[in-house]
Amino acid sequence: MADRSKRDGFGLEDKVAIVTGGGAADDGIGNGRAAAILLARAGARVLVVDLDRTRAERTVALIMQEGGTAAACVADVTDESQARAMVDTALAQFGRLDCLDNNVGIGGRGSVVEVTPQNWRRVMQVNVDSMFLASRHAIPAIKETAGGGAIVNVSSISALRPRGLTAYSTSKGAVIALTRAMAVDHGPDGIRVNCVAPGPVYTPMVYSRQMSPAGREARRKASVLGIEGTGWDIGHAVRFLLSAQARYITGQTLVVDGGATLVGPARAPE
């Protein structure tokens, strides 16, 4: 049988990708885990990065069960020394770096008069600083070892449709601006930078909050397609934007929300 990665035409055979936030609870499929598995299916070698070693190693095990190549790395990418070490680990493990999926993020509720300064700073640190620091060290490695590559930053439709999550919406808006700026700065280096803005997808981060059945149903109905999004939907978008199929796309934000931003501005109940 012909190699599947070549048949699929992603151009990711033997490329090396870092996926931050690539773990998930148990066997759940979050955005990062889905992206890591799908990149490996396309022939990439993947460094799965997470704060939790068990979760990262479980993603690696799932990849290896399918015959893929991956390694686990524990890092807090809000810390520059750990972000640098993460890139060094990818180079030591695989010898090069081609792609980065900046997937780390946390939520943040409340208006500017409700959120505390401490929580505001923490949301910005995790959602924006992590991408700045990971990219700061990944970009020179991509340029030097691969001669070019691609980065995807994960934002949210909350950046496009604010809905009572002001710190979160602001941070995810900054991710879109960061993406566009990086695309301009590093296009001459042969590095494409794009953004994925997920809608209300059902992932371990969501169901760990014990969302009510009514809340889950409301989220499903928020899609004009009437279907529920999952981490796989985000993973497919990330893989596409990191692949050769997106060779002429940079500085863009791909909304993956089943059409939720087209209708209904209200936030779904929990």
Q: Tens of pLDDT along 188-224?
A: 999 999 999 999 887 666 665 666 777 777 777 788 9
Tokens of 14: 């033997």
Partnered with residue 204 across adjacent β-strands are none
Domain-by-domain residue ranges, the chain? 11-258
Tokens of 262: 């087209």
The stretches of 110-190 forming alpha helices (DSSP H) are 117-124, 130-146, 166-186
129-151 pLDDT, tens digit per residue, is 999 999 999 999 999 999 999 99
pLDDT exceeds cutoff 60 at 264 = yes
77-128 pLDDT, tens digit per residue, is 999 999 999 999 999 999 999 999 999 999 888 999 999 999 999 999 999 9
What residues act catalytically?
168
pLDDT exceeds cutoff 50 at 270 = no
Which pLDDT belongs to residue 204? Answer: 67
Q: Which CATH architecture has domain 11-258?
A: 3-Layer(aba) Sandwich (3.40)
